[in-house]
Amino acid sequence: MPAPVVLTGRRTRLEPLAPHHVEGLARAGGEDRASYAFTPVPHGPEAARDYVERALADQAAGRALPFAVVRADDGRVVGSTRFLELDYWQGPLVWPPVPGVPYGDPRTAVPDAAEIGNTWLAAGAQGTGINTEAKLLLLRHAFETWRVRRVSFRADARNLRSCAAIERLGARCEGVRRAHSRGLDGTVRSTAFYSILDEEWPTARAVIELRLAAGAPAAPGPAPAAMTGVAAV
């Protein structure tokens, strides 16, 4: 299982999610919640505590590596994101493959593929470039430290804002899996899947860095509540 790590940018710091982030997450999730139609975001201290406990249980089981998103200029927690769907391709070939199980010592294993998701930001942090820089930090760590072959993303296909944000990262749409799972609103949702491959990463990184250098623009004007959101879930 990859070790927790702090990832630091100019305006964003990603800290390993921990119990001391509960209060900040509760405050962040308590801002205007209109953009969370498709994104599970804790509401209140008890929900934030449960959110952190569940995320840390997934980390302990080797299923995820969660982070608190911290605004660098004032140290305020403004959201959360994580690596998940960690997959390992090392060791003897076993068929059928067993996803998510590293070969050798799990304490030193690093994945060959990963997903970035469960991302949300406080309303006041959306459209500020924090999400774009957070994605750059995660992608850079995955491709340049772990040396993964693929990073994937997914979003409710109705969440046009999230789909557009993923595409702006340089990710390619692999298709939409129809009637894929139960959505946050209780209906059956279709899911759009995206990915960036290791050979595509240099181009994607250059585009993201140019956007940040130019001042990442806010997402296009307010969308209806049924089409808003921050990132893939």
Instruction: Report DSSP letters for 106-118, one per residue.
Output: TTT---SEEEEEE
DSSP assignment of 121-156: E-GGGTTTTHHHHHHHHHHHIIIIII--SEEEEEEE
Question: What is the pLDDT averaged over residues 115-133?
Answer: 95
Question: What is the pLDDT averaged over residues 161-177?
Answer: 95
Task: Find out whether 95 and 42 touch, Cβ atoms under 8 Å.
Answer: no
Q: How many angstroms separate the CA atoms of 167 and 161, rounded? A: 10
Report pLDDT for 93. 84
Position of tokens 């660098």?
Answer: 72
Determine how β-strand 76-87 pairs with β-strand 150-156: unpaired
What is the chain's mean pLDDT, rounded?
Answer: 90
CB atoms under 10 Å from CB of 149, counted, come to 17
Q: How many angstroms separate the CA atoms of 102 and 61, rounded? A: 12
Strand partners for 117: 82
Q: How many angstroms separate the CA atoms of 2 and 143, rounded? A: 13
Report pLDDT for 99. 80
Confidence of residue 218 (pLDDT cuts 50, 70, 90): very low
Quick check: pTM over 0.95? no
pLDDT over 50 (residue 16): yes
Question: Pick the residue with more confidence: 230 or 199?
Answer: 199
DSSP label of 42: -
Segments making up each domain of the chain, as ranges: 7-227
CB atoms under 10 Å from CB of 86, counted, come to 24
Report pLDDT for 129. 93
Report pLDDT for 145. 97
Token output for 50 = 């449960």
pLDDT over 90 (residue 228): no
Confidence of residue 31 (pLDDT cuts 50, 70, 90): very high
Report pLDDT for 107. 80
pLDDT over 90 (residue 214): no
Report pLDDT for 92. 85
Fold assignment, 7-227:
Aminopeptidase (3.40.630)
Side chain identity at 41, as an amino acid letter?
Answer: V
Q: How many angstroms separate the CA atoms of 144 and 141, rounded? A: 5
